[in-house]
Every structure is written in structure tokens, then in C-alpha cells.
Structure 1
Amino acid sequence: MNAEASAAGFASGYESGLRDGACEYLVRHLQPPAPLKRDSRVLYIPQGFEGIDQGIIEALRLTVREVYVADATRMAEQAALIRPDWVLVLNGLHVFPANHLQQVDTVRSLGIRTAIWFADDPYVTAETMYIAPRYDVVLTHELSTMQMYRERGCTKVVYMPLGVDHNRFKPMAVEEKYRSDVCFIGQAFWNRVEIFDALVPYLKTRKVFIAGGLWERMKRFKEMERFIRLGWLPVEETVKHYNGARVVINLHRTTEAGKDNKNVLNLPGRSINPRTYEILACGTMQLTDQREDLPHYFVPGLELDTYANTVELRNKLEFYLTHEEERRTMALRGLRRTLNDHSYLRRLQQIGEVLGW
């Protein structure tokens, strides 16, 4: 028994060392050069998305001459004081004050250009359809909402995918307590509950980590309770669990109107979520459900893999958990692609070109 445990520990340590060393090499050798700063002054209004806002702020500081950050409640006040060239707002939802749109009108009346970057599309069309027309430029990561914004009177609508903050989501060595065969972190929306309930017989045979709210909705919650951490998981912990997982599942939430969302227009989900980038930025193998624009950003079957239904997900989990070299190689390809193409620095350079900073 001791010999078997020792051999298993050695094998696990050997595989972890291979992965950590390869990730470190890629991170060191794929650092992009600092771009020339554009001669613009930008006031940024964060949404409060910890995994996104800081990445955008740090990228802005490398992209433009002057960057200011203000709370949404003081947007108009700070814009009048600073007189930036542009006010860039992330999302404009949830924590934004009741007078948000009146503040936008005030900013525009000062001759200051405004842009909003929607990160929750298409799940909140009940609100964004009224917010978007008040801005000069609308950026959205979701293909399906673009025509809707144009029909609402928005004169400039730009498809702008999200990205990843490589200072937060990155490869790292982690303690044993963060290691798992299969990991999923996110809210238990009903489509996720259905799939994970169906996977219970397989997942019970593996070391699993699931985190997020509402997982009590599962019919077979009691059978999986020991694997589930209920409630919000801090970003720092999320990164460690991604790094410790052999496979991370990505499952986009349902867009069906009334099912855990405010997508009153029932627009489809065509674009990938930020989790797609964040998982791969940790140097971890990802299995994701399919979205139309995924092949524009990653090569399925090479840099990550996809599944169309629960049976295919279960079969691919088994394959990658029993084929270590294939799993590790795919994870490293995904990391390389993410480092090269999907940083917030790259996105802010694209935004700067679009907005003419």
C-alpha cells in the first residue's frame, strides 16, 4: 500500500512539474512589448467585476497618456472636473445608480465622448436596450445583440470580445487541497443543473470541485454535496482551483427568456464568455459547450475541446483524464493562444483604434 501511494505521488508530482515548467516557459517568452501610448485622456467607470475591471485599468495605463478611474455615482462630477477625451464605462448595470443615464447625458453635453462596453449580453436586454442609445459608441462582446442596438438608434455599434487579465489568471503551482480531476465554478443556472445532475454517476467516481450559488437546485445535490462549495468564490481562489484541476468544464448559461435572466428579447447566445479565456490563461485543459464565434478565437480540438451534449461531455472527460499527454499538450496550446491574442492589453489597443484615441 505504501509503495503504491508513493508511486502515485511521484507520478502526480512528475506530471505537475512538467506542466508547471512548460507554463513558466510560455509565460516568460510570450510577453508582448509595451505599446506606444496614445495621446488621449480616458476616464474609466468600472462595473465591479473583479476579474475584468483591474485588467482593463492596467491595460488602459499602458495604452493612453492619462487614465482616471471613478465610481459610477460620481461619473458626471469627475468628467466635469477632469475633462477627459473619453469616458469608457463597463456594462453600466447592477451597481450603477438610478441617475446613471442622466449622468451620461450631462457628460455628453460637455462635449466629452462616451462609450459603453457591455459584458453581460444578451442576458439583460430588458435594461441594455434602454442604456445603449444614451452613449456615443456601444461595444458588445455578443454578436446577437448588435442589430438590436442599431434598431434602437445606436449609430456606432462595435463587436468587441472580452479577454483576460494575465496578471490575475495565470499558471501557478498550487497546494494539494486545490487539486481535482474535474472543476466547475459558476452559478447553478437551470441548464447547468440539468447537465450536472445527469453527470452525477460519473462525477462520483472522480475528485470533483464545484463552486457557486444555487447548487441546491440539483435533484441529486445530496450525492454531490461533499464536492460543492456553495456561494461566491473569490477570484484568487478561483485561479488556484483552475490551476489545480486536470479538466475545467465551461458551460454557458441559458439565454432563454425568464430562465435566470432578463433577456426579454430572447436573443441567442452566439459569443463566448470571459471564462473561456480565464481557464486557458491558467494553463488548464478546458471542455466547453459550443458557441458560434468560438472558432474565431480558439481552434477546437487543438487548443481546447468542445461537447454538444451530456454524453459527449462524459466521454471526453474520461478520455482526457486517462490520456495525460494529450490533455497537457492541449492545455499548453490554449495557454499560448491566450497569451498571444486575448489579453486586455490587446483588447484596449483594438478599442483605441475603433474610438480614435
Structure 2
Amino acid sequence: MEGYSAARWMVCGDFINPTQPLAWQCASALERLGVTVLTANTEIRQPRVNQFIKKVGKSLAKPFGLKQTLSERFVRDERATIERHLQTQYDRFQPDVVLVIRGNHVAPALLTAWRKDGVKVIGWWIKDLKNLDNFLRDQPFHDLNFCIHANIRHPGIRYLPAVAVDPYRYRPLPEVTKRFDVVFVGIHTPKRREYLRALTGWHLGIVGPGWRSRFEWRDRVLFSAVQARTLYGEALNRFYNAGRIVVNINQWEANEGSGVTLRLADVPASGGCLVSEYSRGIEEMFTPGEEIVSFTSPDELRERVAFYLAHEAERRRVAQAGHARAMRLPTHMDRMRVLLEAVRNGAE
């Protein structure tokens, strides 16, 4: 075989959640680079009846102190199902390279067996630092290790950001009416709720799971702002275009380390004015105050939003500069070329 650009790659990642398309984007980029790709899902689509049974089972077990035990049993069963699925896919495809987009667990026993077959295994950590210990623990089971956090100084781990521009998916739509003052996309967390409460008084649009749970229905402002549980593809691009400002709030705290969400590229690519919570690594891609706007607290978020809603010319200038900068960011093909080159060098 001449190099690894002609190799067979098995990409293991979350191919089930359409709101998190990174795994699909990486697989598509590899295919455009001439690689034969198999997509292997590391998540399970749970039927609603199974979700209901799990929920009821844990509720019944709680008074007896068995909720944790039952939860662990469910996790073990799910992982066993995923491992059987991955091994079946592996046996049928016989890959030369396995890329594990981490944050998604693949059992060390599987990785060890695959490496014994002469397969190159790549681990790429794309989540925040909270569970990074899991990746460090599994590092010896990969031939190559990559991480999105530039501040991780660990032997054998290379820095590779996941943020990349996808002009096929995100682009300006001048015909879309700006229906919202502010839009936000992301799963509900207490931190995000606190920040978005600082934006009461403006027309807010929210998309994401958890915002209409039984715990949030009393918060009428945020509850009424929810537009959908999930949006993806063209619908998500249109939603970004429907906001005068798009807010990004990280799930992690700024002092927990570096790392940026994929929205850092997606929103400016769509032509939106991005107001993003600051985290280390932003400056590598955008200039805060020029191409995006940053904040570090709920009060600062409210201050930034108030200013840019009141100054349309400034808001448009930031959006235009951000879009121009986003178009110069690396693409997913560029990110995958780094992996191709690393595998090729490792094979020589």
C-alpha cells in the first residue's frame, strides 16, 4: 500500500446525534481526501420504552439504596452492546487505521486486540478537561494521541483543535428575518440558565435539550423562549441567521482550562455576531472585540449584548469581520490531513 491516504479507516464516534456533526464531518473529510471510511457509532439510540423502563427502575430502586447499583448495571450493559457492535464492524471492514473521537469510550481490550492485528489506533480527545483523566488512562492503548487543549503538556499527546470551518453547512442567509434579539443553542445546564437569565428583557430564542424539563417550567421567561429541542443542518443555520446576536456559553468554567466549542467557527461562518464566553484558545482563531465579542460573567454578558443591540453598525462590523476570519480557518479536511500525516510518519 502506498501511504495511508489510500488506507481503510474506521472512524468511531457519535454518529447518532445530528446536533453534534463532528464525527460525520471528519468522516466526510477523510473520504474527500481519498480514504475509504467506515463509520462506527459509539452511542446507542435508546427506544423510548427502554428509556421509560430505566427511569422507572431507578426510581423504584432509590428507596432501597440501589439506584447507583442499577445505574452502573445499565451503563455496563450499554457498553457491552457497543463493544459487540464495534467488533462486528471491525471484523467486516478489516481497517488499517481506527480513529476514536474520544469523549466516547472504547474498551482498552478492543484497542489492544486491534493493535495486535497491526492496526494503527488514534485517540482524539474533543471534550472538556473534566474527564480528561479517562483519556490519560487509556493513552497507552493508542498508537497516536491528540487533544483539543493546547495547555495539556503530556508526553505523547499532540495538540489538534476540533474547531474547523464548514462552509457547506454554515453560511449567511440575507433573506432570513432577524426574529430574535439573541439566540442560544446548547443543552441545559444550571450555569447556562444563570447566564441566560441575565438577558431577560430581550427577545430570546433557545434551542436545546432540557430547557423544558419539569425543573424549568416555572422559569416562564426561559421556558417560553425555547423554540425546539434540537435543530441541525439547514434548520440550525437558519436559526443562527435569525438572531441579531448569537450567544455561546461553555459547559465548563473558564478556570478549568482551555478549549472552545465548535460554535466558535459555526456561528461566524453563518454570518452571525458571536458573543462568546471567554476561554483560553479563542485568540488562536479570532480577535475578541474585532471578529467576535467575549465575556466572563453574566453581568458582562448583559453589558455586551446591550451595547451591540444598541449599536447596529458595530454589530454588523463584528459579524462581517468574524465571517471573513472564519472563512480563513482550517477546514475539517485540514484537520484530517494532520492525522493522515501523523499516521504516515509513524508508519515509516
Name the structure 1 match of 2:221. Answer: 223
Structure 2 stretches of 5 or more lacking a match? 43-81
Aligned match of 2:275: 287
Question: Out of 288, 292, 298, which is 1:310 matched to?
Answer: 298
> Which residue identity lines up with residue 207 of structure 2 in the other structure?
A
Q: Does 1:111 align with 2:111?
A: no
Say if 1:52 and 1:193 are closer, same or farther in 2 by CA, change over 3 A: same
Shift of 1:218: 5.9
Which residue identity lines up with residue 104 of structure 1 in the other structure? L
User: 2:247 maps to what in 1?
Assistant: 249
The aligned counterpart of 2:203 is: 207
State the partner residue of 1:134: 141
Structure 1 vs Structure 2 CA RMSD = 2.8
Distance 2:341 2:133 in 1: 30
Name 2:75's counterpart in structure 1.
none
Aligned residue number for residue 45 of structure 2: none
1:225 match: secondary structure = helix
CA spacing shift, 1:291–1:220, aligned 2, 3 Å: farther
Aligned partner of 1:19 in structure 2 is none
Please state whether the residue corresponding to 1:233 is helix, strand or coil: coil
Match of 2:10 among 43, 47, 50: 43
Compute the TM-score of the two structures, normalised by the length of structure 2. 0.75
Shift of 1:121: 2.6
**Structure 1 residues 141-160: aligned runs within 5 Å:** 141-144=148-151, 146-147=152-153, 150=154, 156-160=156-160
Other structure's SS at 2:256 match: coil
Counterparts of 1:341 and 1:320, CA distance in 2: 25
Q: Secondary structure at the match of 2:188?
A: coil
What does the per-residue CA deviation read over 1:110-137, in whole Å, with 9 as the maximum and x for residues that have no partner?
A: 0111002222232333643443332111
1:55 equivalent to 2:47? Answer no
Structure 1 residues 341 and 224, CA, compared in 2 at 3 Å: closer, same or farther? closer
Alignment partner, residue 232 of structure 1: 230
- The percent of aligned pairs where both chains have the same amino acid is 23
Tell me how far 1:235 sits from its aligned partner: 4.4
User: Are the structure 2 counterparts of residues 43 and 279 from structure 1 closer, same or farther at C-alpha, using a change threshold of 3 Å?
Assistant: same
CA distance in 2, matches of 1:130, 1:289: 30
CA contact (8 A) 1:38 1:63 kept: yes
| Aligned-pair CA distance for 1:287 | 0.6
Q: Which residue is equivalent to 1:299?
A: 287
Give a deviation string over 1:249-301, Cα, whole Å, max 9, x none.
Answer: 11111349xxxxxxxxxx81312111211111211100111111111111111
In 2, the alpha carbon distance for the partners of 1:241 and 1:296 equals 27
Write the distance in 2 (CA, Å) between the matches of 1:70 and 1:197. Answer: 39
Cα distance in 2, alignment partners of residues 278 and 296 from structure 1: 16
* Among candidates 78, 96, 104, match of residue 85 of structure 1: 96
SS in 2 for 1:114: strand
Deviation at 1:304, TM superposition (A): 0.6
Could you list the per-position Cα deviations for residues 42-64 of structure 1 after superposition, in whole angstroms to 9, with x for gaps in the alignment? 22223225321221112111224
Deviations 1:72-119 (A, max 9, x none): 4444444455443311121252xx6xx733221221110111002222
Match of 1:121 in 2: 128
Pick aligned residue for 1:276 from 264, 267, 271: 264
1:351 is paired with a residue whose SS is helix
Aligned to 1:172, the other structure's residue is in SS state: coil
Determine the structure 2 residue equivalent to 1:181.
Answer: 181
Structure 1 unpaired stretches of 5+: 1-36, 257-266
Aligned 8 A contact 1:170 1:282 in 2: yes
Work out the CA distance in 1 between the residues paired with 2:157 and 2:206. Answer: 37
In the alignment, what sits opposite 1:165? 166
Q: Any idea what SS the aligned residue of 1:210 has?
A: strand
Query: 1:280 aligns to what SS in structure 2?
Result: helix
Q: Any idea what SS the aligned residue of 2:221 has?
A: helix
SS at match of 2:290: coil
SS in 2 for 1:199: coil
Q: In 2, distance between residues paired with 1:104 and 1:211?
A: 37
The yes-or-no answer on 1:331 pairing with 2:319 is yes
Q: CA deviation at 1:219?
A: 9.7
Q: Which amino acid aligns with 1:231?
A: R
* Separation (CA, whole Å) in 1 of partners of 2:338 and 2:327: 16
Q: Deviation digits for residues 127-173 of structure 1, max 9, x if unmatched?
A: 434433321112111235x34xx4xxxx6211111124332222235
Contact 1:138 1:157 in 2 (8 A): yes
Aligned length: 295
Higher alpha-carbon deviation: 105-114 or 134-143: 134-143
Report if aligned partners of 1:213, 1:231 keep a CA contact under 8 Å in 2.
Answer: yes
Instruction: Name the amino acid aligned to 1:88.
Output: L
- In structure 2, what is the equivalent of residue 263 of structure 1? none
Inter-CA distance 193–91: structure 2 relative to 1 (3 Å threshold)? same
Alignment partner of 1:120: what SS? coil
Instruction: Determine which of 24, 35, 40 is the counterpart of 1:70.
Output: 40
